[in-house]
Chains A and B, each alone.
Chain A
């Protein structure tokens, strides 16, 4: 295992695989200019709005700089919201990752240029982006109070899914819609790692007298582990930052952080909390930066085996 994680493919092997790419030394500097429009775009539409939004957390209503809003991060309600956000993101990330990984494993049994494989690939790409109000509406029409499935269960089987209260419009109600877009995202991010597993490795294990079990435990699991954990982190971040689906489903209590930000911005009964929204956004950015840093570290480990 140690050798696998720390070792690098032999130089000859690398050269052969990298043959299509130009060697580093001969990179043409002029090509970098082509990134300028993208850099400007990122600056104007990501960096600047981000700084401006975060900045609102540090000025009072009448424009004086202040750190007073930071205290909001210690409020029990805000802490609870961060807790609920983490819980929803954690559950849906793990469930999505496990289900998605099983799907990926199943896909390896199919021809990589086959019809089913390309159907699943394109479906995953589309469904991973199917979120927001449309998704909330789809679930409301399916398992909302007047939803088709809810009503079928009630009238045909006598099962009332909301007997203990209408959980669909609260935090538990987010789990199903979130898993709906987490699974395809897992398929997209995890599939390259699974296809990176080379049949030659299994042959090598067999040649050296290893069993299938040893191949699984000492090759497959160590090689896929960083990719799997990285994907879980990505899924966690994806759910953590989701807003529109939750906003369309939950109208009471603002239990997760993005809804707390909405409440601070639009409330007509509790006034003067606009800067709290900026501070909450800062809290979210900190969480995201930590997650994404870990993700990119793991991603480096993962890519080692995908060349």
Chain B
């Protein structure tokens, strides 16, 4: 990619946008006035249209994102695409922190220009912190089903993976069922991405084990006892897998979201890393997007929401193996990246997503029983 092209394009866009903003805002102070109201805008229309939003965002020039690892659901490419499209620098801070720490960072840094502008959050943290979000509805809002968004626009589902088992095909045989992993060929080899009492992805691994092993979304204790069996068999590997441990061969089997396991294949240092979504009930969990109510770059924050809900970014999520929330609408409109969809496979119709109450019940159960089960 030559750096001059996007710059020139961005410059042209800015000039155009400034001109347009000047027109629509009539004799008001143009882009400046638009920028001033960005903090309270609940849609691009409030600012005088998408071009005015772009102008205001580029006037701010920066966007602070948090908890977006480059290898997570293609965020590295999504951030690159955003920077290529707009004349805005993305500051990606603390990529590996948890959803809870995103909120803590926003509270601690409130009023400073390093505070996060936008959040990418698990559902439990989202629903517990509604006061922290500015309400905003993207242009593609109507494509999104009602149960995937807040009626007022405080948050919106963005993408989901399927819980999956990633494995090094050279080190272990392909698991056909969950119980295969209890066999002796997996001794000391099976890890999950984090502590289920702390990390959403790890909690989902236990929930999935419950669904696969005779439990239900209402009672995940079967999942806890399945991991207990795994530990008793000496197969459970209690370390935190990362792309580095996968590449070094330290974690040959990893429970994680399908998009993370698919991304790990590219990073696996020559290992034959494969992803298995086992037959039986699939488990998904949408991540939510929201704008920080104290965002230091309110217009850029809103433009980021527009961008990640656009066809371009939604297709990038899909290319990483995550199912974007607008997938159905994009399939219908023919704007979906068909090659990526074919590679990932259709979203299973019987994908379970736990409700808030079920997630809370599962977390409470895990808090009380997990350490004992694997200790």
- The residues of A with any CB-CB pair to B shorter than 8 Å are 77, 80, 140, 144-146, 162-166, 169-170, 249-255, 263, 265-272
* Given known A267-B98, A268-B99, A268-B124, contact A250–B198 (CB-CB < 8 A): no
Q: Report A-chain residues with C-beta under 8 Å of the C-beta of B213.
A: none
Q: Report B-chain residues with C-beta under 8 Å of the C-beta of A263.
A: 195, 197-198
Interface centre among A166, A169, A170 (most CB of B within 10 A): A166
Q: Report B-chain residues with C-beta under 8 Å of the C-beta of A163.
A: 187, 234
Q: Report A-chain residues with C-beta under 8 Å of the C-beta of B343.
A: none
Q: Report B-chain residues with C-beta under 8 Å of the C-beta of A249.
A: 239
Contact yes or no, B231 A165, CB < 8 A: yes
Contact yes or no, A166 B125, CB < 8 A: no
A250 CA to B194 CA, complexed, in Å: 10
Q: Report A-chain residues with C-beta under 8 Å of the C-beta of B97.
A: 266
Contact yes or no, B194 A251, CB < 8 A: yes
B374 at interface, CB cutoff 8 A: yes
* Given known A253-B371, A263-B195, contact A270–B188 (CB-CB < 8 A): no
Distance in angstroms from B142 CB to nearest chain A CB is: 30
Contact yes or no, B234 A267, CB < 8 A: no
Closest Cβ neighbor of B233 among chain A residues: A165
**Contacts of B322-366 to chain A: CB distance below 8 A:** 359, 363-364, 366
B368 at interface, CB cutoff 8 A: yes
- The residues of B with any CB-CB pair to A shorter than 8 Å are 97-101, 104, 122, 124-125, 128, 187-188, 194-200, 203, 231, 234, 236-240, 248-250, 359, 363-364, 366-368, 370-372, 374-375
Partner of B375, one of A162, A253, A270: A253
Contact yes or no, A166 B237, CB < 8 A: yes
A165 CA to B188 CA, complexed, in Å: 6
Q: Report B-chain residues with C-beta under 8 Å of the C-beta of A251.
A: 194-195, 238-240
A144 CA to B191 CA, complexed, in Å: 14
* Given known A146-B248, A254-B371, A255-B371, contact A270–B364 (CB-CB < 8 A): yes
Q: Report A-chain residues with C-beta under 8 Å of the C-beta of B237.
A: 145, 166, 169
A32 CA to B101 CA, complexed, in Å: 44
Contact yes or no, B101 A266, CB < 8 A: yes
Contact yes or no, A269 B101, CB < 8 A: no
Q: Report B-chain residues with C-beta under 8 Å of the C-beta of A250.
A: 238
* Given known A165-B236, A166-B188, A263-B197, contact A270–B122 (CB-CB < 8 A): no
Contact yes or no, A270 B366, CB < 8 A: yes
* Given known A263-B197, A269-B198, A270-B363, contact A255–B375 (CB-CB < 8 A): yes
Contact yes or no, B239 A169, CB < 8 A: yes
* Given known A146-B250, A165-B231, A169-B239, contact A271–B197 (CB-CB < 8 A): no
A270 CA to B360 CA, complexed, in Å: 8
Contact yes or no, A252 B250, CB < 8 A: no
Q: Report A-chain residues with C-beta under 8 Å of the C-beta of B370.
A: 253
Contact yes or no, B374 A268, CB < 8 A: no
Distance in angstroms from B235 CB to nearest chain A CB is: 8
Partner of B238, one of A252, A268, A272: A252
Q: Report A-chain residues with C-beta under 8 Å of the C-beta of B203.
A: 269
Partner of A164, one of B194, B197, B234: B234
Contact yes or no, A145 B122, CB < 8 A: no
Contact yes or no, A269 B375, CB < 8 A: no
Contact yes or no, B124 A271, CB < 8 A: yes
Contact yes or no, A253 B374, CB < 8 A: yes
Partner of B124, one of A166, A255, A265, A269: A269
Closest Cβ neighbor of A147 among chain B residues: B250
Q: Report B-chain residues with C-beta under 8 Å of the C-beta of A271.
A: 100, 124-125, 128, 363
Contact yes or no, A145 B250, CB < 8 A: yes
Interface centre among B101, B238, B374 (most CB of A within 10 A): B238
Partner of A268, one of B199, B231, B239, B250: B199
Partner of B188, one of A145, A268, A272: A145
Distance in angstroms from A165 CB to nearest chain B CB is: 4
Of the A-B pairs whose beta carbons lie under 8 Å apart in the complex, a sample of 6, sorted by A's number, is A146-B250, A162-B187, A251-B238, A253-B374, A267-B100, A268-B124
Interface centre among A164, A255, A271 (most CB of B within 10 A): A271
